[in-house]
Amino acid sequence: MKEENAETVQKYDEILNEVREIVIAKNIDYGDSWRKMRITSITDQILVKAYRIRNLEESKEPPKISEGVEAEYKDIINYCIFALLKLREEDTSQEI
């Protein structure tokens, strides 16, 4: 693997670890609440986060309350993983 690719993979893994730590921390507060959500609701959450990012990027004023664009992207990653988990659960339940 080229050195440049190895560095990218390392940084990718670092971000995945950060995202995993967020899920672990939030799971303590909220539990597996995503399990009760339908895929369409998860999709809606992803869209809300994307719109929030767009608003933060386009706003000329600093946000009054915001965890920042990076936190929104990390939440999107986690919602995408939750959606994939739900899809796999649905596939497995249909096989029975």
More confident residue, 43 or 96: 43
Tokens found for residue 96: 């029975």
Q: Is the pLDDT of residue 1 over 70?
A: no
pTM of this prediction exceeds 0.75: yes
- Grouping H, G, I as helix, E, B as strand and the rest as coil, residue 11 is helix
Domain ranges of the chain: 3-95
d(CA 14, CA 45): 24
Distances (CA, A) of 68 to 1, 22, 27, 28: 34, 15, 21, 22
Of 1-5, 58-62, 70-74, the least confident: 1-5
Q: Is the pLDDT of residue 96 over 90?
A: no
Residue-wise pLDDT tens digits, 63-82: 777 788 999 999 999 999 99
Cβ–Cβ < 8 Å for 42, 34: yes
Looking at residue 66, what DSSP letter applies? -
